[in-house]
Amino acid sequence: MKHVFYLLIAVLMVSCGSNSSKSNYEKTITDNLLKGSDTKENLNFKIIELNETGNITVADSIAYLTDEFKKDKQLIINRVELAKKMSEDLQAKTKKKSEFDKYGDDIAVMNTRIDSLKNLTPDNLNGYDSKNPNDVLAMIVRCKYSIAPGGTSVEETFDFYLSPDGSKCYGKTRAK
């Protein structure tokens, strides 16, 4: 009997703890959506469904920044390679020795730049040096809500990016 009592207390504590985080999420999301507008009651704002769908860790952030860096770097490499190809075409068509040498110099500079770019590593990860890759930077909370600004009720679903404690909203995207 004693074990059943302890089990009930543990279940009660867990359920109360999860409700407080959800109510914290509700407050943060409501404040974010209704900032600078009428009151919650005037707009008939109601949260229909609220679920944690994931989180963003330090490792996720590093992977995203590295991927974006690689995309941007490749775009620049492609442009320099295009300019190099154009210089090679012009060099092949020229008949003057001075122009031929000038295009050759330009091609050499572009080859050096391409090699330099290929070896370039991301420099925007300095803030992550001392962080644990598993540290949570943000929680993703999916919220389905209804709002009736002009009397007609509209339902929308968004993913909100909240601080780990749920007190700040970093942004939102329409749920897919």
- DSSP of the chain, one letter per residue? -HHHHHHHHHHHHHHHHHHHHHHHHHHHHHHHHHTTS--TTTTT-EEEEEEEEEEEEHHHHHHHHHHHHHHHHHHHHHHHHHHHHHHHHHHHH---HHHHHHHHHHHHHHHHHHHHHHT----S-GGGTTS-TT-EEEEEEEEEEEE-TTSS-EEEEEEEEE-TTS--EEEEEE--
> Predicted confidence band at 43 (pLDDT cuts at 50, 70, 90)?
confident
> Predicted confidence band at 7 (pLDDT cuts at 50, 70, 90)?
very low
Q: Who has greater pLDDT, 93 or 42?
A: 93
Question: pLDDT tens digit string along 150-165?
Answer: 778 889 999 999 999 9
> Predicted confidence band at 37 (pLDDT cuts at 50, 70, 90)?
low
Lowest mean pLDDT among 10-14, 79-83, 122-126: 10-14
Task: Report pLDDT for 31.
Answer: 87
Instruction: Please give the model's pTM, rounded to 2 decimal places.
Output: 0.66
